[in-house]
Amino acid sequence: MTDQNGTILVVDDDDLICQLLRDLLSRHGLSVIVALDGFEALKALTSEQIDVVLTDVNMPGMNGIVLMEEIKKLAPDLPVIVMTGWGTEDIAVKALQGGAFNFCRKPFNVHEIVRIVKKGLEVKRLSDKQREVLPFIELNLSFDIPSDVRYIRSIIWHIYQMSKQLGFPEKEFNLRVKLAIDEALCNSIRHGNKEDINKKVKIEVQISPEKLRFKISDEGEGFDVSAIPDPKDPENLNNEGGRGVLLMAYYMDKIEYNEKGTEVILTKYANSDTEDKKQHAAQTQGSIRE
């Protein structure tokens, strides 16, 4: 059973060191699981609730640096402490650069290693507390930029950072959302405002773990919204405007225009099975059939 004060995964190919650390950390009220190599450690991570990993660097098969990289794929917020030998400061620096929470030297100082492990537990608990409120957070961002495509990359970067912090899936953002925003902003700047630097593009963003919503408005003359090319027709890939609309339609879950055509609202859901998205998809399919 997991100890209420936290569970530590100790990884070292030296069984004597594993037992020494188990006894030491247990005396401080911690539950300890030991693994004699990186592969065994990864199995433990998938079957046990681990709060901190304490791993040696020099191990056969899978060293501690590679193990840490694999752990970060499974649990990005899990604190990993690496143990290095004297005179291997370069390895410690590499570990910290790769995402290690901290490091300690072998042979280790008993008080130092207990202090570092307990600090790692504090960080893990703080991270867990932050995640508790994520479902209830909605962040609103607003940008008012001149009609210059050079600002697009920076805007997308800021939106990405905030989305990542709130837990919106990074893969979904990188594969679809950022491409749709780029197309929408380029359309507003180039086709809406005709790249008139005196005209502005306004971007209003709502970010939550479940949904991203973008309202992009330009100061152009607008266009006939009813003349928007059918995003389902591959023929529209041959013209620039149709291509942008086609890409946005496939990247995003919902696209809406105002009557004048100077404003577009793009919505992307983290979960593609949301009821709102299903209803919108049904309506869209119905209108295309008609």
108-140 pLDDT tens trace:
888 999 999 999 998 888 777 766 776 777 899
pLDDT over 70 at 4, yes or no: no
Q: Are 268 and 211 in contact (CB under 8 A)?
A: yes
* pLDDT tens per residue, range 132-174: 776 777 899 999 999 999 999 999 999 999 998 888 888 889 8
Average pLDDT over residues 33-46: 94
Q: Please state, in angstroms and rounded to a whole number, the distance separating the CA atoms of residues 93 and 95.
A: 5
User: pLDDT tier at 284 (50, 70, 90 boundaries)?
Assistant: very low
3-state secondary structure of 242: helix
Whether the pLDDT of residue 288 is over 50: the answer is no
Instruction: Give the span between the Cα atoms of 224 and 43, in whole angstroms.
Output: 58
* pLDDT over threshold 70, residue 272: no
- Helix, strand, coil percentages, rounded to 5, for the chain: 50, 20, 30
Q: Are 3 and 28 in contact (CB under 8 A)?
A: no
Predicted local distance difference test score (pLDDT) of residue 231: 59
The model's pLDDT over 230-242, given as tens digits with 9 standing for 90+, comes to 655 666 555 555 5
Sequence-distant (≥ 6) Cβ neighbours of residue 252 within 8 angstroms? 176, 177, 180, 266, 267, 268
In whole angstroms, give the CA distance from residue 208 to residue 188.
25
Spell out the domains of the chain, with CATH numbers in brackets: 7-132 (3.40.50.2300), 135-289 (3.30.565.10)
The pLDDT, as a whole number, for residue 38 is 93
- SS3 state at 205: strand
Q: Is 221 exposed, middle or buried (0-12, 13-18, 19+ CB in 10 A)?
A: exposed
